Amino acid sequence: MKTLYFFIIILFISCRSIVKFNPEEIEKQIVVNSIMYPDRYLTVFLSKTANVLEITPELIENATVELWSNDNFIEKLTMDSAGYYSTKVYKTLPLTEYTLKINVEGFEEISATDYIPAIQEFVVTKFEESSFSTDYSDDFYDLTIKLINTNLEGLYFQLFSPYSLIRTSYFDTLAVNADIYSNDTLLLNSYYSWGDYIFKTSYTLNNPLQITLQINTHFILDPYVFKNYCSLIVLNSISENFYKYLKSYAIWQENYYPDDGMMNDYYLYSNIENGLGIFAGCNLSIDTLIWNNEIVVNLDSI
C-alpha cells in the first residue's frame, strides 16, 4: 500500500510545470476594420492587437490614412476620435476599386484594396404558412424571395434572417430563426452566423434565382404584439474579401464551444497587408415584410 501511495505522489508531481509568459515580448500588429457602402463617407477603425492580459486594445491616434483609387489620390482621412478616421468630402461609389494606405509610427506601411459590388434587387414572392412543424412549435412560415438579375454566377451574398421591427424608430433585437432552401445547389452550402447566411452563387439559368427561408415565428407572431410587427429582409451583395472574412468568422463560431472543451487555434481571414483586419465593400438591398395588412415602418426614417 505504501508503494501505491508513493506512486500516486510521484505521478502528480511529474505533471506540474511552470510556464513563463511575458506579454511584452509579443509583437503588436495594426488592426484595420473598414466596410465600404455606396454613396457614404468612409470610416476606418484602427487599433493594435491586445494580449490575453489586456482588457481593451490600444486605439491608434495620429495615423496617416489615405484613400486611393487606381493609383489616384482621393482624400486624407480625418481623425474624429482615438482610433476613428473618416472622409469628409468623398463618398465611396459602387464598382470602383479603392485602396487604403495607412502609416503608423514604428510600423511598415499598411494597405488594403477592395471594391463595392453592384446592388442585386429582389422581391418577396411568397409568404405563407409552412407544413413543417416541430415538437415545440408549429409556427413556421415559408418566405420566398426572387432575385431580379438572372446572371449571378460567382457572386457573394449575405442574407439576413428577417429582423422584427416594432412601431418605434429602433430595431427589436429578436431575430427570426430560419432555415434556407434554394434552386441553386451551391447556395445550399451556405454558412450561418448569428442570424445571417453567407453564400456564393453558381446560378446562370434563365429563370430567376429563388431563395426560401423556413421561418420559425413562434416568438414574433404572439397575438399581443402581432399587429405591431413587420420585418426587414436584407440581401447584402458583398465582395469576395468580405465573404471570406464572414465565412471564417462563421467557422470560428461553430468551433467556439467544442465538445471536448479544448478550442483549436483559428485565424480570421484578413486582406490587410502588413496588418490584420478587413477592408471590404457591400451593397444592401432591402424589402419590407408586412405581418399584417398595413405598413408599420417607414424605411426612410431608419
- The CATH classification number of 23-115 equals 2.60.40.1930
Q: What's the pLDDT tens digit per position in 16-27? A: 666 665 556 568
- Helix and strand numbers (H, E) in the chain are 2, 18
Two domains, one topology: 23-115 and 122-237+283-301: yes
| pLDDT of amino acid 59 | 95
**Of 125 and 93, the one with more pLDDT:** 93
pLDDT at 261: 56
Position with higher pLDDT, 224 vs 28: 28
Residue spans of the domains in the chain: they are 23-115, 122-237+283-301
Confidence at residue 231, expressed as pLDDT on a 0 to 100 scale: 66
Average pLDDT of the chain?
76
More confident residue, 239 or 163: 239
| pLDDT digits 0-9 by tens, 256-281 | 665 555 556 667 899 999 999 999 99
Q: Which of 145-149, 271-275, 290-294 has the lowest mean pLDDT?
A: 290-294
Residue 154 CB: number of other CB atoms within 10 A?
Answer: 12
Task: List the one residue out of 156, 157, 182, 295 whose CA is nearest residue 236.
Answer: 157
DSSP string for residues in 122-161 = EEEEEEEE-S---SS---EEEEEEEES-S--TT-EEEEEE
- The amino acid that residue 243 corresponds to is Y
For residue 110, what pLDDT is reported?
A: 97
pLDDT band at 165 (very low <50, low <70, confident <90, very high): very low
State residue 185's pLDDT score.
62
The CATH class of the 122-237+283-301 domain is mainly beta
Read off the pLDDT of each residue in 37-62 and give the average, rounded to a whole number.
Answer: 90
Question: How do residues 68-90 score in pLDDT, each as one tens digit?
Answer: 999 999 999 999 999 999 999 99
Higher pLDDT, 95 or 152: 95
Cα–Cα distance list, 138 to 177, 196, 213, 233 (Å)? 13, 22, 15, 22
H or E segment and range at residue 252: helix 240-254
Q: Which of 32-46, 163-177, 194-208 has the lowest mean pLDDT?
A: 163-177
Q: What is the pLDDT of residue 174?
A: 35
Q: What pLDDT is recorded for position 114? A: 98
Q: How far apart are CA 171 and CA 221, in angstroms?
A: 16
Looking at the chain, the whole-number percentage of residues with pLDDT higher than 70 is: 61
Specify the pLDDT at position 240: 94
Helix (H) or strand (E) holding 42: strand 40-48
